[in-house]
Amino acid sequence: MKDFFISLILSSCLVGVVGAQGRAVIGISDTYRDGVNSAVPRTYVEAVMGAGGIPVIIPLIDDDGMLAEMLKSLDGVIFTGGEDFDPAYYGERPIPQMGKVNVPRDAFDLRLLRIAAAEGLPVLGICRGIQLINIAYGGSLYQDLSAQYLNRSVQHRRKLSKIAPTHDVVVVAGSVFSSIVGLQTIEVNSAHHQAVKDVAEGFSVVGRSTDGVIEAIEKVDSATWILGVQFHPEALYSQDEHMRNIFQYFVDKASHSKSKPMSASPRRKIELHRLQPPAIFNPELLKLKKVSLTFKAIQPPKKKKK
């Protein structure tokens, strides 16, 4: 594990040299799981490398200027899976079925997405990543499918390994996502209990599970390339060519962005929604100190003993 982190540090040091040779440098958002280490699951790293990209962890930092400078060296950004998102960002209070949230990461991911969008970088959001994208652009989530979604024909939070496909996703014909996977129906893994509810303005739903739950959204135009998927293609990368296609297409798209240097055009103003810290939390919790993962504010209430 130590060698793995050293290799990522070396990769980031070589970004300017190797990136100039044409390989896309892909930033992967920090999971900040324990509040001490910057890390991402190995599967994300291997998927990016397998597609010909150079993976670099984007560490959780509280300096937008430094973050913007960092992103100027990148060609694309992947937002990783993780905890539930604070529902206050989309105007709701937590229900009892909500899980843990990562307060510093919520704030950081929203800032990172804002800067990445302003720089025109291709973005791929996975699991929590699709939810982040939808919230940032003004959409909302089902806080818990079992409590808020009536159709129970598909089990979305399976206890099986992520390397096992568990249900089908119907792909919308004519979408960019359809051209990537090349099928009308794909098999995906499933490890989530939240999902996109109200779709953000400007985004198209391009994949649904057979029970109607949104599994993929996209916003693709001359200035924006954003794809979000609810499943985990990185976990199926080694065994499913259609999952590999997602990373291959993304890395290829990112590498083509090199032909448009960031310095050649001014940063665009991107209107994202609800980027202010939620009012129900103490603002002090959002200061990115060494350890600041405080979940007590939205823990589900304990069931009373009968």
User: What are 59-85's pLDDT values in tens digits?
Assistant: 999 999 999 999 999 999 999 999 999
With 0-12 CB in 10 A as exposed, 13-18 as middle and 19+ as buried, what is 148? middle
| Annotated catalytic residue 256 | no
For each of the chain's 306 residues, which pLDDT tens digit applies? 444 443 444 444 445 444 546 899 999 999 998 888 899 999 999 999 999 999 999 999 999 999 999 999 999 999 999 999 999 999 999 999 999 999 999 999 999 999 999 999 999 999 999 999 999 999 999 999 988 888 886 777 666 666 778 889 999 999 999 999 999 999 998 888 999 999 999 999 999 999 999 999 999 998 899 999 999 999 999 999 999 999 999 999 999 875 544 433 444 444 555 444 444 333 333 333 333 333 333 334 454 554
Q: What is the mean pLDDT of the chain?
A: 82
CB 68 within 8 A of CB 19: no
Q: What is the pLDDT of residue 36?
A: 84
CB 290 within 8 A of CB 35: yes
Phi, psi of 223 (to 5 degrees): -115, -10
Q: 156, 167, 192, 232: which is the annotated catalytic residue?
A: 232
Looking up tokens 């990522």, which residue turns up? 8
Phi, psi of 51 (to 5 degrees): -90, 5
- Alpha carbons 208 and 216: distance in angstroms, whole number: 7
For the chain, the residue count is 306
Tokens coding 95: 């229900």
CB 119 within 8 A of CB 75: no
The three-point CA angle 236-197-137 to 5° equals 90
CB 126 within 8 A of CB 76: no
Q: 127, 167, 193, 218: which is the annotated catalytic residue?
A: 127
| Annotated catalytic residue 193 | no
CB 86 within 8 A of CB 135: no
- Selection from 98, 224, 240 nearest residue 169 by Cα: 240
- Alpha carbons 31 and 226: distance in angstroms, whole number: 20
CB 216 within 8 A of CB 243: no
- Alpha carbons 214 and 19: distance in angstroms, whole number: 35
Tokens coding 164: 């096992």
User: What are 274-283's pLDDT values in tens digits?
Assistant: 444 444 333 3
| Annotated catalytic residue 13 | no
Looking up tokens 């818990």, which residue turns up? 144
CB 227 within 8 A of CB 159: no
Looking at residue 43, its amino acid is T
Q: What is the pLDDT of residue 6?
A: 39
Q: What is the pLDDT of residue 86?
A: 95
